[in-house]
Amino acid sequence: MKRINGNLIFENNPAIRSYASVVGKKEGEGPLRERFDRVISDCYAGRDTFEQAESELMSAAVRIAMEKGKMSADDVDIAFCGDLLNQCVASSFAMAPVGIPYAGIYGACSTMGLGMILSAVAVESGAAKRAVCASSSHYCTAERQYRFPLEYGSQRPPSAQWTVTGAGACILSCDDNTENGDSHKNCGKDASRTLRRPYIAAARIGRITDYGVADQNNMGAAMAPAIVK
């Protein structure tokens, strides 16, 4: 791995070996319905609380990703997972029964991207052969966490966004990601031309910049500068 002008350049092509997505009812009604692995119509996902439901979403996403990749928890060396709740309780309780060494991360809307970068670094360095990264959110838990509980009945302004109810997971590795099935040691520059799987070529971790956006409902204005930069 090289560092060039603040960019991390991955030379061993950490590739997405498997992935999965599990979403709620509203998301399942959209145009991407057929792209999701599972749509859960019950906002509680069969649990007692919205927070437990969010854990169930992530647990299902990680489980499906491993099933699609034909691997068990013993085949994965580390998990980088996060959510929007205090102490990352959704991901912590989701990963507890799985048994994979777990690092909870918090990046808010960047959690999935951050998890993929950390997973790529772990795989690239040889610290892990396979790493899972996952992120989740739930509209009802996010409203209670950041704005007002739904029971309060507050009015949402036109600029308010609707936090997704869903979870995504992917497993990164540097094995079995070339046409000839070369192992980690052969996944260098020469092999990159024959990659069949999506892979992470480079990453950049940004700096925090405060543009003075004070409206807690207008997350679009807060995140837009990151796209421009």
- Coil, strand or helix: which one is 102? strand
CA atoms lying within 13 Å on the CB side of residue 160: 15
Find the CATH number of the domain harbouring 162. Answer: 3.40.47.40
Give the confidence band of 182 by pLDDT, cuts at 50, 70, 90: very low
What per-residue confidence (pLDDT) applies to 229?
A: 57
**Range(s) of the domain holding residue 185:** 2-228
- 8 A C-beta contact, residue 133 and residue 115: yes
Q: 56 pLDDT exceeds 80? A: yes
- 8 A C-beta contact, residue 85 and residue 191: no
Please report where in the chains the tokens 């997405």 appear, as a residue.
Answer: 16
Give the confidence band of 194 by pLDDT, cuts at 50, 70, 90: low
Domains identified in the chain, total number: 1
Compute the average pLDDT of residues 61-78.
96
Q: 142 pLDDT exceeds 50? A: yes
Q: 178 pLDDT exceeds 80? A: no
What per-residue confidence (pLDDT) applies to 175?
A: 66
Q: 188 pLDDT exceeds 70? A: no
pLDDT, tens digit (0-9, with 9 covering 90-100), for 96-125: 999 999 999 999 889 999 999 999 999 999
If one counts every other C-beta atom within 10 angstroms of the C-beta of residue 176, the result is 15
d(CA 116, CA 214): 29
d(CA 184, CA 68): 21
What per-residue confidence (pLDDT) applies to 119?
A: 97
